[in-house]
Structure 1
């Protein structure tokens, strides 16, 4: 696949050589697997779960895990034209040659993207059609607690914490291979393992109402999730992958806790990941110190379902903040629950930056907040936001849900009224954004039986909100695509009868339905109609007595508890958080063995004070350096923006005292020479960097050990503080071509040299410019296989690769262009 990189858009996403990527000798590996995330690189590289498994598996010498992402539509077309299968990133191994292909299922709209990856990998969709020569296809992630619409495509699924499941599974897989077992013999040996779901061992059929679930083995009637009892035993690897390009979440992520006991009745993750298990401060601090040293990240995020509930959040900030200040690392917090973060911490954060803060009231009226068990009062919301404004914040974002059970017109209008009450407390410079998602009933929640609103109802309520928000220019309303939410709702509570629908929708081009640009709702409706499926029937309210298609899969929360919570919701009664109140008897905890119970840090009863940082030292420009580097091999496919971020992080890892800009988002004062077009190599590039302190020359030698293959610094010198980066006026490039086509390339060069003029239309921002390439370029033959091309940028600038394509019309995958002088 990599031989076609010159033809790909965003080619860096297919290199597989990112800093901290892992490469092993395939001849010494006993189990070779791919970890597939069914979305584009920029989304998949942000998924924390894949990073956990990637590092966990690759610590074992006998196992090798590589990454797989969905290619763009344009890249897929190239692969099909070239009859090239989709391959892993690191070793370029075709997917069909792997031992195991594992998918992370995080949302239902990624189902057809799984088929897209299988198809490009030349692997049959249906589990029953894959013989012993194909990889075992498995899946994990939160959606597997009801992934019945895709169950026929997978050999097995994992329910629960993957850290405790996956390595044991690989051990079992290896033992089965060494014993010569068939795929079925392996699966039979796994059915006694907790957290292992083998869809083929259950027959599930849809009735008029509800489903008929028939286990094929008497000792395998229910699958219980696996829970890692002590989160401190889960290893964290500091050598985190550094992505190329702009990804959704490009920062160091630390999972401080897993699970949530707040009990929001719509929240799927809040129920399936119980109980709450927190990491110790010692583990977090140790990891942060090492991870920052191994990555050079400039931003840090504390991750959990409710970060504000982390018992020792203030203590954590106190312990890590000085190091973050010293290294100019920003802190990012997810949306906060009102009241979950202390006033002292808010005061501290206000001194760092006031760019915006996010809160999640979820509903606009107190009645509806009680229905969903949000357990916050309007007075608390107003008091909390008033404090935020008093501390200087000018932007606030609020998360709401539309279409919740029992919702009325008053509840919808309540979203607007709450926003206006919040704004009334602030000065006129404050802006508020309300982000509205649309309620989708989820399995294993109290609302799994609830009705989902249809398209007309959703559009009507969105229109009402839009009309209300137009009355106030300080308010901005954003909302989720209702068609997308409806599709998610259909597949989140459906059974295996919809698997053929997924195949047919994929065959009609539905590959990335969780992207607005790629979702074609009419196509889905057409497929449902052709198959005689009443899709809106899947939105209906379920009867409490009917069998749901996931009832053989247990997340530990009992059906009795969910029914009790549903009844309380209809009465607008709340249930307190068992973290601070009494046990709600949800069924997750094992109080006999005391192994599966909440694991919380203990409050130490100390007072904490926060001191704002002194940035002045980092703003000083003590000296400036000019640095020369080579950009060769796969690094040629890195864009200028990617290159700048890679260099910045390498400089951070080398502990160089960088000077920073001023403002809320300080960045290192670094400037590069003329941008080299993507796909071109170079023997000589330069950049300049300001330092806040004096630097010894030998310090720069460390940088190369933190760069990807092909990027190498080879010279550096101190320059005057007033010297500015100088753009090259002339540059020489060497074009290398296959010897078998020497006559073709040489004749085209000779033809160009004989011309008096060679005009080329270059599209500018506003108009087309006619450039004379003869005035810009000179060419001569060096030796067999090489042509020297000299560019004079005093005349005008043109992308060298564009000029070469204009004259030679080459197959890009057969040539090599390298800058040899600047």
Structure 2
């Protein structure tokens, strides 16, 4: 253990956390970078509250971000308006450690959904706490689309929830679940922890039993998903002195719950015990661990949060090489022990955390100071630092819409896809155009149903890496435009390499059929055109290409789909490829087969689509 923390500067014994007094004054990036590739959280995320005083004893964020500071509903609405205009996102997420406790939510939601629903923009509310989500709130967020509901009971017995200060009860959970399924939400996900201080076998069995009862409320099995993670003690929490259960204990508890999931009909997801083992070490570690991290990296540890890339044996070897015992970091700590993070002052008194630990052992609840008296945690001085909560009813007035939703019109757009844009996949291309249309201020027409989508269709999907001068896209929008004005509106919002070259209005009932053939110009300058291969192909009556796909052999006779294969000047060749309703082939596959090229050779070619035959 640590003997003492030495001051390097006189009077500088601790690093004190800076606290933002007013969230409204914090700058917010209303014009962020919008990635073309789909990231994990592909939506507009607005922080509406910082801090939480529910006091869940395992939760680090609930202590290090105190006090609660809410952003005013007017400011939230302003940020949403500006950000959507600049990004074109189709989903907005209101972020908070417990969004249901955001006081102005009930007044903000109807106005916000009036703004979002007309444009097919969905709203998500992560970090929902059981007991804070009313039927009116559910009604509002379901106006565009329903995805799934997520709750975090963390423990399945009331005694254990009291120990961790999770102030919910089963009656509230069941009532909320009934409301979720009654409103036809497709799924319900629940988060639980195993290995909590004071846990017994009965607490583990109760997780399966609670899930079984919730399954009965749904319409079919496997509508409930239970996500399990091993409890990891965190610094600056009342549980920072607790032990973490062993790998064997974690494995046994997860094994039992997996067995019960199959028996009772609920899905189960779990965090690998070995990953939780490492998290426990680093969450309460000291500076000596830097050597372990370096050694593990040198041994090849990469992307460890992905199961298929995680190699626990590399970390075991790294600890051995660094001569550190990993289990040292997982044991119970004493009150008198100097902790590695003691030099950081988060504002919460260490004695308050210790008393919370003792209350946990007695099964006592600590109330939330938002709704009851101050609990004397030490953060607020009520002069400079104090909670900021908006309890008064807010009145946000929507600006009168200058655009009226008239009859929809359909437009056929021809666009080019050149240079680096050739690396956009088809799904990315759909997303790019969708958001570009939004940023351009076009009012898209959406499909009906539980998951509305923009009425937008492409003639054909182009393989990744292939350039094109003639791609075709149909969109339905409200309002009439001439072709030139549409180009002027949309093109400034497209990335380099994508440009709309032509736009015409077509009848609403006109369907976009795939072309009967596509014409490509292929440049073999990278390694030379083998003209002998062209002669061999032309001489054959049949040229069978086959590939194993999803366990099935797929065969295509290239002589029936390659309409012509003509050498051009230099190292170029023109290929006209038919697009039959069945038995088609990609241009990259055709080139690979005819010229006997390896898969890794194809990206070295310059393949340009120069025309289509309708």
TM over 0.5: yes
Q: Does 1:674 align with 2:464?
A: no
Distance in 2 (alpha carbons) for counterparts of 1:605 and 1:335: 23
Distance in 2 (alpha carbons) for counterparts of 1:704 and 1:628: 12
Matching of residues 517-556 of structure 1 within 5 Å? 517-556=308-347
**1:409-432 Cα distance to aligned partner (Å, 9 max, x none):** 111122223333445556667932
Which residue does the alignment assign to 2:534?
A: 752
Which residue does the alignment assign to 2:516?
A: 729
Match of 2:546, SS? Answer: strand
Matching of residues 287-686 of structure 1 within 5 Å? 287-349=79-141, 353=145, 355-393=147-185, 395-424=187-216, 431-473=223-265, 475-591=266-382, 594-604=383-393, 622-686=408-472
Shift of the 455–297 alpha-carbon distance from structure 1 to 2, 3 Å rule, reads same
Once the two structures are TM-superposed, the CA of residue 759 in structure 1 deviates from its matched residue by 4.4
Shift of the 777–226 alpha-carbon distance from structure 1 to 2, 3 Å rule, reads farther
Distance in 1 (alpha carbons) for counterparts of 2:548 and 2:259: 41
Range moving further from structure 2, 659-668 or 412-421: 412-421
Gaps of 5+ in 1: 1-208, 609-616
Q: Number of residues paired by the alignment?
A: 596
Greater fraction of residues in helix: 1
**1:616-669 Cα distance to aligned partner (Å, 9 max, x none):** x99x98442211001112111101111011111222233333222222111012
Any conservation in 1 of the 2:73–2:394 contact (CA below 8 Å)? no
Which residue does the alignment assign to 1:715?
A: 502
Any conservation in 1 of the 2:487–2:501 contact (CA below 8 Å)? no
Any conservation in 1 of the 2:57–2:239 contact (CA below 8 Å)? yes
Q: TM-score, normalised to structure 1's length? A: 0.68
Once the two structures are TM-superposed, the CA of residue 721 in structure 1 deviates from its matched residue by 3.1
**1:697-734 Cα distance to aligned partner (Å, 9 max, x none):** 43453011111111111111122333322222332223
Shift of the 427–805 alpha-carbon distance from structure 1 to 2, 3 Å rule, reads closer
Distance in 1 (alpha carbons) for counterparts of 2:426 and 2:59: 41
Once the two structures are TM-superposed, the CA of residue 523 in structure 1 deviates from its matched residue by 2.6
Q: TM-score, normalised to structure 2's length? A: 0.89
Once the two structures are TM-superposed, the CA of residue 365 in structure 1 deviates from its matched residue by 0.7
Distance in 2 (alpha carbons) for counterparts of 1:776 and 1:306: 59
Any conservation in 2 of the 1:732–1:820 contact (CA below 8 Å)? yes
**1:93-144 Cα distance to aligned partner (Å, 9 max, x none):** xxxxxxxxxxxxxxxxxxxxxxxxxxxxxxxxxxxxxxxxxxxxxxxxxxxx
Structure with the larger RCO, 1 or 2 (CA within 8 Å, 6+ apart): 2
Distance in 2 (alpha carbons) for counterparts of 1:476 and 1:678: 35
Distance in 1 (alpha carbons) for counterparts of 2:586 and 2:139: 50
Which residue does the alignment assign to 1:143?
A: none
Matching of residues 28-43 of structure 1 within 5 Å? none
Shift of the 224–416 alpha-carbon distance from structure 1 to 2, 3 Å rule, reads same
Q: Does 1:790 align with 2:570?
A: no
Once the two structures are TM-superposed, the CA of residue 390 in structure 1 deviates from its matched residue by 4.5
Once the two structures are TM-superposed, the CA of residue 338 in structure 1 deviates from its matched residue by 1.2
Match of 1:373, SS? Answer: coil
Any conservation in 2 of the 1:245–1:641 contact (CA below 8 Å)? no
Q: Does 1:263 align with 2:263?
A: no
Shift of the 582–711 alpha-carbon distance from structure 1 to 2, 3 Å rule, reads same
How large is the Cα RMSD of the aligned pairs?
2.8
Which residue does the alignment assign to 2:399?
A: none
Once the two structures are TM-superposed, the CA of residue 244 in structure 1 deviates from its matched residue by 2.2
Shift of the 386–777 alpha-carbon distance from structure 1 to 2, 3 Å rule, reads closer
Any conservation in 2 of the 1:350–1:392 contact (CA below 8 Å)? no
Shift of the 799–215 alpha-carbon distance from structure 1 to 2, 3 Å rule, reads farther
Once the two structures are TM-superposed, the CA of residue 353 in structure 1 deviates from its matched residue by 4.8
Once the two structures are TM-superposed, the CA of residue 367 in structure 1 deviates from its matched residue by 0.9
Gaps of 5+ in 2: 397-403
Any conservation in 2 of the 1:438–1:485 contact (CA below 8 Å)? yes
Any conservation in 2 of the 1:493–1:538 contact (CA below 8 Å)? yes
Any conservation in 1 of the 2:53–2:370 contact (CA below 8 Å)? yes
Any conservation in 2 of the 1:277–1:599 contact (CA below 8 Å)? yes
